[in-house]
Amino acid sequence: MDKGIVFDIQSFSVHDGPGCRTTVFMNGCPLRCEWCANPESWILKPHIMFSENSCKYKKGCTICENACPHGGLTFDDMPKLNWNICKDCDTFECSLKCYYDGFKVCGKEYSVDQIMKILTRDSHSWSSEGGVTFSGGEPLLQSDFLIEILKECKNNYIHTAIETTAYKDNETFLNVMDYIDFAFIDVKHINRDMHRQKTGVYNDIILNNIRTLKESDWKGRLILRMPVIRNFNDTYENITDTIQFMKENDLFEINILPFHRLGESKWRQLGKEYKYKDEEGTDPKKLEEIQDLFLENEIACYIGHDTAF
């Protein structure tokens, strides 16, 4: 497959792997994490978002009033979207009319050649350790497209990284990892029932993929990642179970991430309820306590962006 759907490409990224990088954010995710900072990534196809902060309707702009031919828009003090209609839209007339990005389309079709042109352009600003990172969403959902890009990256000696949930069948997962030099894999909770409670899926596939990757002849560097969510995965039991899993699979690096609410506005722009709107950021002392538990077990634990890569 030589075309895929991407919702963002960020140049000069320094937090998505070694060195300075270009991060390609791909549409589609099988998980539904209640704290997700990129909920716009869940849907595989392009779809609409509406930002009240950008909209100028209250200031007299009415350009969108007759824009939607599908009956998806009504008007009071602000435009109101009927999400049951808008979720199936593929023409996005409202976004074509709006001057102010009140209506935005999340997701754009790219070819392999288009992605490679961007990477070639950006490569001049990468450090010696830099390259490209594929993120999302879940890039494995577009595995055929991803593999084609990765092949071109290898042909051009570009360092490749991935940020993934590893929630994909084992054969596809390993096929993709054959072309990956550096990987972040999310482990949001070790207990399968707790994992499903907050993400919508069990973690069996994820943990099995991590095991089989470590048992393979893959030569890349693997960092586990865990967003620290209060009263979910920050317990002593979950941390010690995670340590045990890591030791059993010869894993000795983890990156714990403090919770933040930076994605809250995106939930509103998608017409979704954000359950963590009143949750505070993670207490730094809690992060240090968790870090100490890993360090006591000879596992390198990096907090946030304070990493060794």
pLDDT for the residue numbered 1: 72
Percent of the chain with pLDDT over 70: 100
For residue range 31-68, list pLDDT tens digits in order: 999 999 999 999 999 999 999 999 999 999 999 999 99
pLDDT for the residue numbered 113: 97
Q: Is the pLDDT of residue 257 over 80?
A: yes
Closest by CA to 17, choosing from 225, 292, 296, is 225
Q: Which class is domain 47-106?
A: alpha beta
Per-domain residue ranges for the chain?
Answer: 3-43+111-303, 47-106
pLDDT for the residue numbered 34: 98
Spell out the residues 6+ positions from residue 222 whose beta carbon is closer than 8 angstroms to its own. Answer: 183, 185, 210, 213, 214, 251, 253
pLDDT for the residue numbered 154: 98
Q: Is the pLDDT of residue 226 over 90?
A: yes
Q: Is the pLDDT of residue 77 over 80?
A: yes
Token digits for 301? 């634990």
| Of 127 and 73, more confident | 73
For residue range 101-115, list pLDDT tens digits in order: 999 999 999 999 999
Q: Which class is domain 3-43+111-303?
A: alpha beta
CA angle 239/241/247 to nearest 5° reads 105
For residue range 114-146, list pLDDT tens digits in order: 999 999 999 999 988 999 999 999 999 999 999
pLDDT for the residue numbered 128: 87
**Is residue 134 within 8 Å of 172, Cβ to Cβ?**
no
Q: Please, what is the end-to-end C-alpha distance for the chain in angstroms?
A: 32
Please state the pTM of the whole predicted model.
Answer: 0.96
Spell out the residues 6+ positions from residue 223 whose beta carbon is closer than 8 angstroms to its own. Answer: 182, 183, 184, 185, 253, 254, 255, 302, 309
Question: H helices within 128-273, ranges in order?
Answer: 143-155, 170-177, 192-199, 204-215, 236-248, 264-269
